[in-house]
Amino acid sequence: MSDTSPVIEIQNLHKAYGALEVLKGVDISAPRGNVISLIGSSGSGKSTLLRCCNLLEDSQQGEVLFKGEPVTWRGTGHGRRPSDAAQVLRIRTNLSMVFQQFNLWAHMTILQNVMEAPITVLKRDHKDVEAAARAYLDKVGIGDKCDAYPAQLSGGQQQRAAIARALCMEPEALLFDEPTSALDPELEQEVVKVIKDLATEGRTMMIVTHDMKLAADVSDHVVFLHQGLIEEQGPPDTLFGAPSSERLRGFLSATT
Ligand code: ADP
Ligand code: MG
């Protein structure tokens, strides 16, 4: 039987920026091999939630668990920080993030971009990493762009390079924050195809997206966030086909 225990779990998470409460007690879990989509209006806390998963953001209350192991904290409230640097590194490298704006290094070639973190952060062997990087770039369809610089690529190609870079960390899960939002419509589909292929492979993923068709096509579970709380969640057929909350119905009719 395949292992579907959660890779990432968040329990009762509270996050504020100063006095602004952004997450007000959120529970979410990404079982191994599942694709979870996060949808909701701009400002509802989707990016913050994703960033709390891999500890790019601090939080004031609640638990973050990686493969069942709770993050250890010191301090409380706004002073709360993870206390174990090795644990933070392990979690960050295992929950690899893909950003809306690609965030490639402009002064490095595409191959160097993909190889950088496995070599400098994970101290892996140069030859092994290069072979893996070339294979991942092939996999996302830009194996011929190894020696190009980011500025020489289209947005869709740059985002596929960013996905190859995330994959080259050999992470337990991938976190996508609006991966297609910065792309022209004709380039979106080449990135959507890569994400769909990864879903078919059984990768564990959490995807923040405005693209309801993408969420409907790839997700095992969809979470609708509203003002820092989960308003409604469920399988995509139910959430999109028979939304029960008035807010979700309003959101869906405004986005399609
Ligand atoms: P979403 O991704 O759903 O659009 P975010 O998680 O980016 O929402 O933001 C949620 C709220 O938190 C917004 O009101 C936003 O302005 C605020 N916010 C996000 N990041 C910061 C920050 N670094 N400092 C202060 N406020 C922030
Ligand atoms: Mg966002």
Model confidence pLDDT, tens digit, residues 197-253: 999 999 999 999 999 999 999 999 999 999 999 999 999 999 999 999 999 999 999
pLDDT reading at 1 higher than 90: no
pLDDT for the residue numbered 256 = 63
Please name the residues in contact with 200: beta carbons below 8 A apart, sequence gap of 6 or more.
none
Nearest atom within ligand 1 for CA of residue 51: 6
Pocket test of ligand 1: the residue of 10, 15, 22, 44 to mutate, having most ligand atoms within 8 Å of its CB, is 22
pLDDT for the residue numbered 4 = 86
Q: What is the mean pLDDT of the chain?
A: 96
Give the whole-number percent of the chain exceeding pLDDT 70. 99
The pTM of the whole model exceeds 0.90: yes
**What are φ and ψ of residue 26, in 5° steps?**
-110, 135
Q: Please state, in angstroms and rounded to a whole number, the distance separating the CA atoms of residues 90 and 34.
A: 21
Structure tokens at 116: 């950088």
Do the beta carbons of residue 176 and residue 206 sit within 8 Å? yes
ipTM of the complex: 0.98
Q: Please state, in angstroms and rounded to a whole number, the distance separating the CA atoms of residues 23 and 14.
A: 5
Ligand 1 atom 11 nearest Cα: 43
